[in-house]
Amino acid sequence: MSHPTKPLTYRDAGVDIDAGDALVERIKPFAKRTMRPEVLGGIGGFGALVEVSKKYRNPVMVSGTDGVGTKLKLAFRMGKHDTIGIDLVAMSVNDILVSGAEPVFFLDYFACGRLTVDVAADVVKGIALGCERSGCALIGGETAEMPGMYADGEYDLAGFAVGLVEKDRILTGEHIAPGDVVIGMASSGVHSNGYSLVRKILDVSGADLASPFDGRTLGEALLEPTRLYVKPVLALMEMVTVKGLAHITGGGLVENIPRVLPDNTAAVLDKSRWPRPAVFQWLQDHGQVPESEMHRTFNCGIGMVAVVPKAESAAAITQLESHGISAWEVGAIVARAPGEAATRVA
């Protein structure tokens, strides 16, 4: 049996404990800005403690988890890591928002082959910014350095959000009925879904990420972070009757809206009622992507929808626009016969 010529350390195996400690110190100020009164203690413990706010009479916890998908590959190619954390937060907090929940805290998981403190700090800075903009506390996370698991310069991300909603205010969509209208809220771009197709289109078209596009570069347009809808939508629910919400993620418009519709209803959308951002037209043109595929893969300019009574449509749009979210009445709820599609885009 052979023996090593010198005593081995964890660093020799590819794990730098000092780098991990340095990262924790770097990210503490970012996390501190996200704190809420309910959070007990700070980053560094084995577990994070959060008490339930006394403003709830009968609180229900709503949780969500997600990653960023292969949008990470674009971040690696561009060497830009300071916004991908916003995507991570948005994918989870926008999901739990659909139940009517206010996000309370967030945890992240960052895994890499070799820890580069500057890159990881940029990522966590983005995560903290996403939490801050959502009113959500970044209370902890995990940094895993695993030599041999990831290619050099690459990492993976996952996030976990927990929110609270008053039990009698949970949004289920059960009261949605024919005659209600669908309000579409503008997306910021491709968000964080469909990037395997985006990357395939880039490959077959031979496009240059550095090429000018719509006032910036193509790469910057594709890396634009996912919009955070939390604060505008929580404010909306205080002002109008929101019967249901749908976050337009994987599956696009046609597969996400039915998730909140009663069985006997359908949403009929008119695509002429909202502008399609240039980035989607570019993807469709350069990938020769059929229109039906666009609507079941991408958000096509609508990142979140709300179903409201027709009489409250104008008020809903005005309220959202007061919070900086462009919004349109993009369709209506109709009765659905057996066998008919639950969402149709015409």
In a domain, residue 174? The reply is no
Q: Please give the average per-residue pLDDT across 244-251, as a whole number.
A: 96
Say what the alpha-carbon torsion angle 124, 125, 126, 131 is, to the nearest 10 degrees.
90
Final residue belonging to a domain, choices 134, 169, 204: 169
Using alpha carbons, list the distances in angstroms from residue 132 to 1, 73, 106, 281, 297.
Answer: 55, 25, 11, 32, 29
Residues 203 and 337 in one domain: yes
Is 273 found in the same domain as 188? yes
Q: What is the pLDDT, as a whole number, of residue 43? A: 64
**Domain match, 156 and 187 both:** no
Sorted by sequence, the CB contacts under 8 Å of residue 282 that are 6+ apart come out as: 213, 218
Better pLDDT: 100 or 48: 100
Q: Which of 169, 193, 217 is the last residue of a domain?
A: 169
Whole-number average pLDDT of the chain = 94
CATH number at residue 80: 3.30.1330.10
- Name the pLDDT band for 4 (thresholds 50, 70, 90): low
| Whether pLDDT at 1 is above 90 | no
Tell me, yes or no, whether 60 lies in a domain. yes
The whole-angstrom separation of Cα 332 and Cα 119 is: 45
Q: What is the pLDDT of residues 177-187, one digit of tens each?
A: 999 999 999 99
Same domain, 24 and 99: yes
Q: Would you say residue 213 lies in a domain?
A: yes
Specify if 282 maps to a domain.
yes
**CA–CA–CA angle 200, 201, 206 (5° rounding):** 105
Same domain, 97 and 229: no
Give the up-direction half-sphere exposure of residue 247: CA atoms within 13 A in the CB hemisphere. 24
Tens of pLDDT, residues 277-321: 999 999 999 999 999 999 999 999 999 999 999 999 999 999 999
13 within 8 A of 147, measured Cβ to Cβ: yes
What pLDDT, on the 0 to 100 scale, is given for residue 16? 77
Domain of residue 308: give its range. 181-345
Give the burial string for 48-82 (b: 16+ CB within 10 Å, else e). Answer: bebeeeeeeeebbebebebbbbebbbbbeeeeebb
pTM to 2 decimal places: 0.94
- CATH code for the domain of 336: 3.90.650.10
User: How much is the pLDDT for 2?
Assistant: 60
pLDDT value at residue 21:
83
User: Does residue 309 fall inside a structural domain?
Assistant: yes
Which of these three, 169, 204, 237, is where a domain ends? 169
Confidence of residue 15 (pLDDT cuts 50, 70, 90): confident
The pLDDT tens digits for 23-81 are: 888 888 888 889 999 999 766 678 889 999 999 999 999 999 999 999 999 999 999 99
Predicted pLDDT of residue 254:
93
Residues 196, 326 within the same domain: yes
Contacts 24+ apart (CB under 8 A), 37-44: 38/104, 38/137, 39/105, 39/137, 39/139, 43/139, 43/140
Total structural domains within the chain: 2
pLDDT at residue 19, rounded to an integer: 83
- For 113-170, write each residue's pLDDT tens digit: 999 999 999 999 999 999 999 999 999 999 999 999 999 999 999 999 999 999 999 9
Query: Does 3 reside within a domain?
Result: no
In this structure, are 24 and 155 located in the same domain? Answer: yes
Give phi and psi for 322, each to the nearest 5. -70, -20
